[in-house]
Amino acid sequence: MGEDYPSETFRVLKKNEEREFGEYRTQRLVLAAWDKFETGELH
C-alpha cells in the first residue's frame, strides 16, 4: 500500500465537511453523543 492508499474510512466525508464547515463536523457530533451516552444523558 502506497502513500495514496485511502486509509481513512470516511475520508471523502471528512474532506467535504472540512471544506464546507471548516471542521470535521461528524467527528465532533459523534464524540459529543458518545460522551452523553457514557454519562447517561443519552439513552
User: In the chain, where are the structural domains located?
Assistant: 9-43
Residues of the chain with pLDDT under 70: 1-7
Instruction: Note the pLDDT of residue 13.
Output: 92
Does residue 30 contact residue 42 with C-beta atoms inside 8 Å? Answer: no
Q: Is 4 helix (H, G, I), strand (E, B) or coil?
A: coil
What does the pLDDT read at residue 3? 66
Predicted TM-score (pTM) above 0.75: no
Following DSSP, what letter does each residue of 6-43 receive, concatenated?
Answer: --STTHHHHHHHHHHHSS-HHHHHHHHHHHHHHHTS--
Q: Is residue 17 within 8 Å of residue 24, measured between CB atoms?
A: yes
